Amino acid sequence: MKAAWSYSGHDCRYSNDSLSDPFLELAATNAIHPPLPVRAVDAPRFSIVTSTFNAAASLSVTAQSLAQQTCRDFEWIVMDGASGDGTVDVVRGFNGLVTEFVSEPDSGIYDAWNKALPRVRGQWILFLGAGDTLYAADVLEKASIALGRLAPEITTAYGDVTVVDAVTGEDTRVRDHVFQGLAGPWGGGRPLLPCHQGVFQRARVFESFRFDQRCRISADNEVLLSELLAGRGEKLELMVARFQAGGISAQSKNRLRMVSESIYINWKLGIFWHRPLYQLSVLVANSMAHMFRR
């Protein structure tokens, strides 16, 4: 199945992929009525990119969040992997909130993101998964003001996010650390990074970059780490998004693959030799844990 359409308008005033074993390879919804048209005649301020696969109910949660935004100067691009759960019909119920929608087979989240990038018209890109939500109705409004104060050379600005318990729906913790470079804390085989749900990146960053699809969990770390290490990042004092605990990267069965991908990205970026013994020890420990689970 392949479906595609787009919408236009203007005004201004935050998915689950199945993964194979790393050793084998490196809802129906109520209609949403946005009070104002979404798409700008000129380039919109924000491009929100979401990939989905059989996540109609979760996508509806994200849609509700975007429909409530006081800043309407954004486009929402949804790339669906040919879902069989009625996602196409659900998106039709969003009544124009989705600017562009494509439903066709893909190989995972980063394939979907790569397909979305040529369609982006916004100045700043934010990647939200199905089920992720912006923290409050004024997130994009506040972000627009904060981003407008940044120096032109800053390409990557990140705020805080909260982790939501999937069962209770309550916030369980806040991810709010500041990136401290290679000398700062590491975890999972790499320097600690902001969560992508809280990261705004200038569209020009992606003029030549595409996500490495050999990585199924951590490909977004490459562009984020590259820009931050180059000194083109800045922390925003802003709570940006909520995302559910228990995603792909948090699942123990995917831990070894995530670590392997992180080390691979470190190698690509030339930082593997900064802490090689640490990275190898993390890899060995997770390899043993993976074998034990099997």
Give the HSE-up count for residue 141: Cα atoms under 13 Å, Cβ half-sphere. 11
Mean pLDDT, residues 188-198: 95
Q: What is the mean pLDDT of residues 22-43?
A: 44
- pLDDT grade, residue 158 (50/70/90)? very high
What does pTM read for this prediction?
A: 0.85
Is there a domain that residue 262 lies in?
no
Residue 281 lies in a domain: no
28 pLDDT above the threshold of 50: no
Q: State residue 172's pLDDT score.
A: 82
Average pLDDT over residues 195-214: 96
What confidence tens digit (pLDDT) does each residue in 124-144 have?
999 999 999 999 999 999 999
| In a domain? residue 226 | yes
Position 270 in a domain = no
Find the radius of gyration of the CA atoms of the chain.
19
Tens digit of each residue's pLDDT (9 = 90 or more) over 39-48: 344 789 999 9
157, 80 contact by CB (below 8 A) = no
Please give the Cα distance from 12 to 142 (Å, whole number).
12
Domain assignment present for residue 8? The answer is yes
- Tokens linked to 126: 């934010």
Domain assignment of residue 175, yes or no: yes
Confidence of residue 168 (pLDDT cuts 50, 70, 90): confident
Residue 82 maps to a domain: yes
What does the pLDDT read at residue 170? 80
Which residue segment(s) compose the domain that 77 sits in? 3-247
The total number of structural domains that make up the chain: 1
Residue 187 lies in a domain: yes
- State the CATH number of the domain containing residue 223: 3.90.550.10
Tell me which residue of 158, 135, 134 sits closest to 74, measured CA to CA.
Answer: 134
Mean confidence (pLDDT) of the chain: 86
